[in-house]
């Protein structure tokens, strides 16, 4: 099946994965500002005082509001299940000692694993093409570690797609080359000042996001398998962009580039 046919058959899901993160950001902001329990109680007390103790809404309105809140909460949970990427302990700082040293160790081991796996499959990739920034602050290091986990997860699925293609057809080229794997800087998210106005919602209190960009060359079955692998309960890679260029000549690989995002949701107490 060619990539165009796959996109047509799975257009609804692909669009949902691509824009789902944006939808959830909006939903989280709305839910966080409207349904914060303590904030709602304060607002109710203020309204009662302004009205001299007389309720402004009847029981039917309150019931309708409660029903709507429950529906929004259910939708929030559904979106979270669809989009969540749950980090593993290996890529978290808790109990790992000095943050900068741990990042160096994890990054070095990951890059070597990516290069070794490529060499085993005769896939072209260079050391310089697997990159990420070198932060200094603990919060920035924590973000880069999450980005490294996304890079790790994506390369595992990329190589698994190659292996599956070759298993189905030993003559298939599969994955030919990886031109770039990059954890993209997200300095605005990591260091921006927190919201200070009453009622504002800081999305960093709700979720953590990191982004990875990629470029690779592969045959059509491998590209299809990579796409299909992005959706995985608890480990979803949200595709932000996916551009595929057909080969100029028969037998040559497709060229693919894009970006993906991992969204880790924080527990709200």
How many Cα atoms are found within 13 Å in the side-chain-facing hemisphere of 204?
Answer: 13
pLDDT at 251 over 70: yes
pLDDT at 61: 72
Report which of 86, 258, 87 is spatially closest to residue 182, judged by C-alpha positions: 258
Report which of 48, 258, 13 is spatially closest to residue 154, judged by C-alpha positions: 258
Mean of all residue pLDDT scores within the chain: 78
Q: What digits encode the pLDDT tens for the residues 30-49?
A: 445 444 444 455 555 555 55
Residue 128's pLDDT band (cuts 50, 70, 90): very high
Phi, psi of 31 (to 5 degrees): -65, -40
Which residues are registered as beta bridge partners of 259?
A: 213, 241
Give the helix ranges, DSSP H, for 169-262: 187-191, 220-229
The total of other beta-carbon atoms located within 10 Å of residue 88's CB is 10
Give the pair of three-digit tokens for residue 12. Answer: 């609804």
In the chain, the number of structural domains is 1
Residue 256's pLDDT band (cuts 50, 70, 90): very high
Q: Dihedral sign for Cα 93, 95, 100, 105, please.
A: negative
pLDDT at 54 over 60: no
Query: d(Cα 130, Cα 120) in Å, to the nearest integer?
Result: 17
Residue 249's pLDDT band (cuts 50, 70, 90): confident
* Residue that wins the pLDDT comparison between 68 and 261: 261
Q: What digits encode the pLDDT tens for the residues 82-108?
A: 778 989 999 999 888 899 999 999 999
Determine the structural domain holding residue 116 and report its residue range. 3-265
Residues 6+ apart with CB under 8 A from 23: 79
How many Cα atoms are found within 13 Å in the side-chain-facing hemisphere of 81?
Answer: 6
DSSP, residue by residue, 10-43: THHHHHHHHHHHHHHHHHHHHHHHH--HHHHHHH
Query: d(Cα 152, Cα 182) in Å, to the nearest integer?
Result: 11
For 127, which DSSP code? G
Yes or no: say if 202 and 29 are a contact pair by the CB < 8 Å rule: no
The total of other beta-carbon atoms located within 10 Å of residue 44's CB is 13
| Mean pLDDT value of segment 184-191 | 63
pTM score > 0.85 for this model? Answer: no
Report which of 162, 181, 185, 158 is spatially closest to residue 172, judged by C-alpha positions: 162
The total of other beta-carbon atoms located within 10 Å of residue 265's CB is 18
In percent, the amount of the chain with pLDDT more than 70 equals 67
pLDDT at 187: 54
pLDDT at 265 over 70: yes
Helix (H) / strand (E) element for 109: namely helix 99-120
């Amino acid at each position: 099946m060619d990539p165009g046919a796959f996109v047509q058959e799975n257009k609804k899901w692909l669009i949902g994965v691509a824009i789902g993160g944006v939808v959830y950001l909006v939903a989280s902001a709305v839910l966080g500002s409207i349904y914060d329990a303590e904030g709602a109680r304060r607002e109710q007390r203020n309204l009662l005082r302004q009205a001299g103790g007389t309720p402004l809404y009847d029981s039917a309105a309150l019931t309708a509001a409660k029903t709507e809140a429950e529906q929004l909460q259910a939708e929030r949970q559904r979106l979270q299940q669809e989009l969540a990427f749950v980090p593993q302990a290996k890529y978290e700082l808790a109990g790992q000692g000095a943050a900068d040293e741990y990042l160096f160790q994890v990054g070095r081991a990951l890059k070597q694993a990516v290069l070794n796996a490529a060499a085993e499959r005769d896939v072209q990739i260079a050391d310089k093409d697997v990159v990420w920034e070198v932060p200094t602050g603990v919060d920035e290091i924590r973000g880069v570690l999450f980005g490294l986990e996304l890079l790790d997860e994506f390369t595992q699925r990329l190589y698994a797609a190659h292996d599956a293609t070759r298993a189905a057809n030993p003559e298939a080229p599969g994955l030919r080359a990886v031109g770039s794997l990059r954890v993209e800087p997200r300095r605005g998210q990591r260091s921006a000042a927190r919201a200070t106005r009453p009622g504002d919602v800081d999305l960093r209190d709700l979720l953590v996001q990191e982004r990875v960009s990629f470029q690779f060359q592969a045959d059509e079955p491998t590209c299809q398998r990579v796409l299909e692998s992005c959706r995985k309960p608890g480990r979803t890679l949200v595709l932000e962009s996916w551009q595929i260029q057909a080969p100029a000549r028969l037998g040559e690989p497709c060229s693919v580039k894009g970006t993906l995002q991992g969204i880790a949701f924080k527990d709200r107490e």
